[in-house]
Amino acid sequence: MADRYRDLIAEMQRIGWRPDRERLAAIGAELIELAHQVEIGDAAGRERDQLDELRTTAHALLSDARHHYQIELATTRAARERELHDRMYPTQLSPQRDFPERGFTRDR
């Protein structure tokens, strides 16, 4: 079981800032299954402590990956809303856009 936890931890570290929703759901389901196996298993002492530590690490990484996924969704949604607004109201200056053709950028 410890090897399965380590594999999931390594995979979540590879996923990083660009998680895939379906894979996150699959990892979550596998973590639930592993946690159940740890609870009903016969591991004791140091082995049980090690499995609990791996479980905590895996759940923390999964939580972070889900959080990053939500941030990515919110950022994408906001960009689409700004683009739509700019198309609907082309005469209004958008505070989110650069206008290099007019000599204005956010850097100045």
Q: Render pLDDT for 33-86 as a digit per residue (tens, 0 to 9).
A: 998 888 888 778 888 888 889 999 999 998 988 888 888 889 889 888 888 888
Predicted local distance difference test score (pLDDT) of residue 95: 62
The 3-class secondary structure across the chain, one letter per residue, is CHHHHHHHHHHHHHHCCCCCHHHHHHHHHHHHHHHHHHHHCCCCCHHHHHHHHHHHHHHHHHHHHHHHHHHHHHHHHHHHHHHHHHHHCCCCCCCCCCEHHHCECCCC
